[in-house]
């Protein structure tokens, strides 16, 4: 049981680090809060809540993974390497793609209740 508690402690420490150091993670959390408020105001269905939760989880998780990748690369070298730049850009691109489609999904959901 002690290992399980330690695992939660380490994971919480990682999430806290990302929250404190990554502006985009905080922005994404604010967008999640905004989407939740809009969802409550529009009284969206359970299925739509599930979709919003899944896509929001994906965006936040990818931001955490992006931060991990950037930190690993920075730990390995301080020198410029084209491969390191490509890896960082690809990880950031994954977050961007998920964020873009989360906006698209949110728009489809919310606009279906407004119009």
* 59 neighbors 98 (Cβ within 8 angstroms): yes
Structure tokens at 69: 């990748």
Catalytic residue among 63, 70, 79, 85: 63
Burial class (CB in 10 A: 0-12, 13-18, 19+), 55: buried
Task: Identify whether 63 is a catalytic site residue.
Answer: yes
* 51 neighbors 39 (Cβ within 8 angstroms): no
Catalytic residues: 63
């Amino acid at each position: 049981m002690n290992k399980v508690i330690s695992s939660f402690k380490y994971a919480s420490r990682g999430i806290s680090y990302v929250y404190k150091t990554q502006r985009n993670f905080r922005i994404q959390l604010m967008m999640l809060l905004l989407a939740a408020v809009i969802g409550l105001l529009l009284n969206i269905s359970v299925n739509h809540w599930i979709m919003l939760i899944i896509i929001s989880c994906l965006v936040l998780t990818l931001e955490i993974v992006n931060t991990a990748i950037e930190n690993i690369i920075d730990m390995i070298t301080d020198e410029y390497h084209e491969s390191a730049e490509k890896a960082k850009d690809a990880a950031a691109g994954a977050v961007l793609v998920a964020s873009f489609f989360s906006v698209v999904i949110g728009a489809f959901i919310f606009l279906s209740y407004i119009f």
